[in-house]
Structure 1
Amino acid sequence: MSIVMSNYSDVIIVGLGPTGATLANLLGTFGLSVTVIEAIDETFPLPRATHFDGEIMRVLQSIGLAEEALPFTHVNPGMTFVNLNREVILSWPRPDTVGPHNWHPSYRFHQPALEAVLRKGLDRFAHVNLRTGCELLSVVQSEDGVQAQFIARGKTTPEVVNGQYLIGCDGGRSPVRGLLDVPLEDLGSHEKWLVVDLIMNREVEGLTDGTVQFCDPQRPTTYMRCVGQRRRWEFMVMPGDDIEALTSPEGVWGLLSPWLVPADAQIERAVTYMFHGVIAHPWRRSRVMLAGDAAHQMPPFLGQGLCAGLRDAANLAWKLDWVIKGRASADLLDTYEQERSAHVRATIEHAIEVGGIIQTIDPEQARERDAKLGQGPRKMSSLVPRLGAGLHRAEDVSAGFIFAQPILESGVPLDEFVGSNFAVIGDRQLLDAVSPGTRMLWDINGVVRLPDEAQQCLDELNAGAVIIRPDRYILAVANSVEALEHVSTYLPGGNENEHARRT
């Protein structure tokens, strides 16, 4: 069989969903050459994920697409949990003002529109090659690189592309994960739900702008206000349900009858999903890595599934850039799974915990739940997990968390000023007092210096100075010249012995 040889790319991405498209935009921004292999020609036209947070808007900002995505969002005022009697048992309010990321803490979005923005963003890069309508056939690794063989739909001759690294962003059924023979760890929560997406014909009284979890043991139900005239209901599939009858138009309108009549809206789709929590291990086999749903999947009760994938992309992109350009050793890529797997595991476990509140179907257990929640605080807040051990200083309690995005004295947001670089922010006297060797280390690593900026953020961290990474996560903090010089060795281009010790 003859094979057509394609051009070399620094990185091969399999999958052009939100994670793959975001990763391709990040790598394109860094100037790396990319080939994306995607099985379908067009974006999937129906809504799937519906929520992202302020950190994800920062990722979109970093690739210059936040403003393009904004018209396809709705600021989410939060979530309310009500019991069988429609009494509030728990609330999760989200402020209507921008938060520490300089974006709102919670957004509803329309996934097909977001994917269109991300795909169009790739048109900016002549060095990013999209191969849609192509099926991955094989992946072969060597000491020098990785080779992917694929075939275009309707063709009989396979093609080959060579690269430094290949990233599987190809969804929950990931062919890349299958080719690597990577197992999934089952974290539990296997429940089937019916997801109903609607386009409203008119405004209906009583439907809030936020999200409501109806924690009704007779049938747990979720309502959410989405973008524009879109609304979504999710209904837990109960024991004994006839799926065919449940998903028929008559069955769907029967479920919707407490809120709507057929004249109120058009059913865009009604489909059942299995909500579960799984995580792959390992995420990396030499030059091939997994990201997004290929690496992990979670129940939707926190709205963090897509967020986790885009966090993967933001964590991995700058590390690939540094390794491919020779600024750091390939060992830096080991920190990707170390950091992200721990973070996403904590998120999945919390989503399962919240799902347990919603999915209680035993009436007595539901009464116990309501009584327990009624005894304590009735508000919940966002989980902010720390990165797992990796490229940050474990001794610093704030290291491994994302830094805020303050507006600098110049009026420019922090991320706009720093770009894709490391940065050191702190007291001018502290920054000026470091040794020539440390200043040289900062220069080697392209560290942007921001003296006398973000004082409120530093005060909240009880820090005189902070070093942040290109993905805005905190590398380390310091309160003395000696400490700042020491933590600077944690930079990827720092002291090799120190790097080896901490990893």
Structure 2
Amino acid sequence: MMSAATADYDVLVVGFGPTGAVAAGLLGRLGHRTLVVDRLTDIYDKPRAIALDHEIFRHFDNMGLADAIAPHVEPFTASEHFGVDGQLIRRVHMIEKPYPLGYTPSMVFSQPPVEAELRRHALSFSCVRAELGVELVDLVQRTDRVGATLKDAAGQSRTVTARYVLGCDGASSTVRQIAGIVLEDLIFDEPWLVVDVRVNQAALAKLPQNSAQFCNPARPVSFLIGPNNHRRWEIMLLPGEDPRQTARPENVWKLLAPWLAPEDGELWRAASYRFHALVAADWRNDRIIIAGDAAHQQPPFIGQGMCQGLRDATNLVWKLDSVLRGVSPDILLDSYTAERKQHVIELTGKIKAIGQSICERDPAAARRRDAQILIAGGGKPLEITRQEIVPPLRTGFLADQDGAARGSLFPQPQVLHDGAPCLLDKITGPRLRVLIDGRRSEAPSFMALCAAHRQLIATTIAPAGADASGVLEETDGVLARWFDRHGVVAAIVRPDHYVFGAARNAAELGSLLHEVTSRLHGHPDPDFKMEKTA
């Protein structure tokens, strides 16, 4: 039998949209031989996703892409929800500075140029190859690899082998179908029209200055402010309306009449969709794994669709890297489904609840909804932040002992480096690491504990002026407040920035260090050293 090392590629990525491009870029940075195929030859030139958040931008920054995509990204405005009679009932906004991850928590972006940068980044690595206009026909799993039959635009077929196949090929995923993975229905199915307009400068003043949800039972509408002059409407279709006819330009402009006239802008895109809530029963069939829309679909009411796909990629790739290098057993990949499926189901439940509230068609029920939201706000419009909606991880590659910080995103403070402020990840990088509260007198002994686990990088941080020596100084107190809020002195953080576990004292830290070593490497010896293979 041929060994896994003789496979043509380490990973075959099917689909070169945002999820596939991020996965390929991460794999390329880690040195894995990667082939990406996509049946389309070009990036789709119209916007689909429009929102991303600080977790995702943090990964873009880790990839070295922040400066390249910044011109195509803007802060998300507050979103105002209006009730039956046009009154403000709820306001969804961002938390105040200093931001917990170092970036504006919610953003809007223009997908085509950002997707182009993601592809350019992936292809900047010599170990990554892309073949466009190439379609996946079949997959055959063997003990140590997968054989993939590919067909090019001329109809010529060939077979390549890869140690793993990652299906990022969208809602109608061929990879998912070949792998025999079924979708579970999370019970949401509504017809909507999505309209994107490049609004003329003079007409922008006619429009709401914040994003908005018009929770009108006659016809619910979402309005989003995109970058520059891009504005989006998501308009619920009513029973009996033909989606194709409704998407015709003359009918679209009739629906936009309360806000704009045809001379006020350019109709960029109008497409009818059924907003679904679906999740794959399993996200892995041995060496075949799925991600992005291939694994889940959710309504777009808080703009988390693409974010969820990129969370899949960042969750999976560090684990796949560890398996491909022989550091971790294959069973580590089982935590991918456990973590991401549960997270998607929980977040989709919250999105559905928001969507069902917005989409209430019964006027009496809608008025009751408005009254309940105002009561929850103490008689005023209810104020919430988008970040309250996204849950932590609940299960998977996390410490056995539960705790307040376990499974949460670890913050990223500004720190001083060579006398200048920078974000923490610039120093520690996105790897398995230990962060220690440098205000504690026991910090040196905590560092000594970590020294025995040479595969983890340990860093001690304290606020500037805390009179602590040999530590990184943070400038905004974000991390100090995090340690205080959770009552912990140290945290073990995964490469995707989720907290494996946090410790209240030296004994707990020692236990966590042994546990993470055992869980990751299948070896309880703290002197076990993670060796990188070529």
How would you bin the TM-score normalised by the shorter chain? Answer: over 0.9
Structure-2-length-normalised TM-score: 0.88
1:183 paired residue number: 182
Corresponding position of 1:173: 172
Report the alpha carbon displacement of residue 371 of structure 1 after superposing the two structures with TM.
1.6
Q: Kindly tell me: are residues 41 and 244 of structure 1, through their superposed partners in 2, closer, same or farther at Cα, counting changes over 3 Å?
A: closer
* 373-382 or 41-50, larger mean C-alpha shift: 373-382
Distance 1:437 1:146, change over 3 A: farther
- Could you tell which deviates more after superposition, 241-250 or 22-31? 241-250
Q: 1:90 maps to which residue? A: 90
8 Å contact 1:340–1:388 — kept in the other structure? Answer: no
Alpha-carbon distance in 2 for matches of 1:119, 1:497: 37
| Alpha-carbon distance in structure 1 between the residues aligned to 2:206 and 2:269 | 23
Query: Which digits, 9 at most, give the CA deviation of each residue in 1:329-352, with x for residues without a partner?
Result: 111111111111111111111110
Rounded Cα–Cα distance in structure 2 between residues aligned with 1:287 and 1:422: 24
Residue 476 of structure 1 pairs with residue 501 of structure 2: yes
Are the aligned partners of 1:427 and 1:465 in contact in 2 as well (CA < 8 Å)? yes
Structure 1 residues 373, 435: CA separation in 2 closer, same or farther (over 3 Å shift)? closer
Say whether the 8 Å CA contact 1:219–1:235 is kept in structure 2: yes
Q: 1:391 aligns with which of 394, 397, 413?
A: 397
Identical-residue share of aligned pairs (%): 34
Match of 1:425 among 423, 435, 442: 435
Tell me the amino acid that sits aligned with residue 324 of structure 2.
I
Shift of 1:84: 2.9
- Secondary structure of residue in 1 paired with 2:364: helix
Task: Give the CA deviation at 1:95.
Answer: 4.6
Report how far residue 374 of structure 1 moved: 1.9
Over 3 Å counting, the alpha-carbon distance change for 1:430 and 1:291 in structure 2 is: farther
Check the 8 A contact 1:422/1:447 in 2, yes or no: yes
Q: Give the Cα–Cα distance (whole angstroms) in 2 for the partners of residues 102 and 477 of structure 1.
A: 21
Aligned counterparts of 2:437 and 2:98: Cα–Cα separation in 1: 26
Q: Is the 8 A contact 2:193 2:235 kept in 1?
A: yes
CA distance in 2 between counterparts of 1:43 and 1:244 reads: 24
- Counterparts in 2 of 1:169 and 1:216: CA distance versus 1, 3 Å: same
Name the CA shift for 1:436/1:366 in 2 (closer, same or farther; >3 Å).
closer
Deviation (angstroms), 1:86? 1.4
Whole-Å Cα distance in 2 between the matches of residues 48 and 98 of structure 1? Answer: 30
**Structure 1: gaps of 5 or more residues:** 1-5
Secondary structure of 1:122 counterpart: helix
| Separation (CA, whole Å) in 1 of partners of 2:223 and 2:50 | 12
Cα deviation digits, residues 183-234 of structure 1 (max 9, x gap): 1110011000011111112332242343110001111011111111111111
Aligned CA distance change for structure 1 residues 491 and 209 (closer, same or farther; 3 Å): farther
Distance 1:468 1:435 in 2: 15
The answer to whether the 8 A contact 1:77-1:96 is kept is no
Specify the SS of the correspondent of 2:416. Answer: coil
- C-alpha separation in 1, matches of 2:100 and 2:252: 41
CA contact (8 A) 1:327 1:493 kept: no
1:379 aligns with 2:389: no
**Who is 2:511 aligned against?**
486
2:226 — aligned with what?
226
CA distance 1:242–1:124, shift in 2 (3 Å): closer
Asked if 1:406 corresponds to 2:443, the answer is no
* Partner residue in 1 for 2:133: 133
Root mean square deviation, CA, Å: 2.0
Pairwise CA distance, 1:97: 4.7
Q: Counterparts in 2 of 1:30-429, with a 5 A limit?
A: 30-95=30-95, 97=97, 99-156=99-156, 158-204=157-203, 205-377=205-377, 378-382=382-386, 383-393=389-399, 394-410=401-417, 411-427=421-437
TM-superposed deviation, 1:366: 1.0
Q: Per the alignment, in what secondary structure is the counterpart of residue 181 of structure 2?
A: coil
Give the structure 1 partner of residue 483 of structure 2.
Answer: 458
**1:425-468 residue CA offsets vs partner (Å, 9 max, x unmatched):** 1145545325978533x20x243433545433322321111111
3-state SS in 1 of match to 2:10: strand
- The alpha-carbon distance between structure 1 residues 98 and 292, as it changes in their structure 2 partners (threshold 3 A), is farther
Matched with 2:20 is: 20
Q: Is the 8 A contact 1:165 1:288 kept in 2?
A: yes
- 2: CA distance, partners of 1:67 / 1:467: 29
**1:3 maps to which residue?**
none
2:57 partner amino acid: M
| Cα gap change, 1:337 to 1:244, in 2 (>3 Å) | closer
Question: Quick one: distance in 2 between partners of 1:246 and 1:291?
Answer: 32
> Cα distance, 1:493 vs. partner?
5.0
Separation in 1 of the partners of 2:22 and 2:258? 40
Classify the secondary structure of the residue corresponding to 1:203.
helix
Q: 1:122-172 deviations in whole A, cap 9, x for unaligned?
A: 23201001011100011111221122110111142x122222111111111
Residue type at the aligned position of 1:402: L
Report if aligned partners of 2:74, 2:227 keep a CA contact under 8 Å in 1: yes
Distance of aligned partners of 1:371 and 1:437 in 2 relative to their CA distance in 1, 3 Å threshold? closer
How many pairs were matched up? Answer: 491
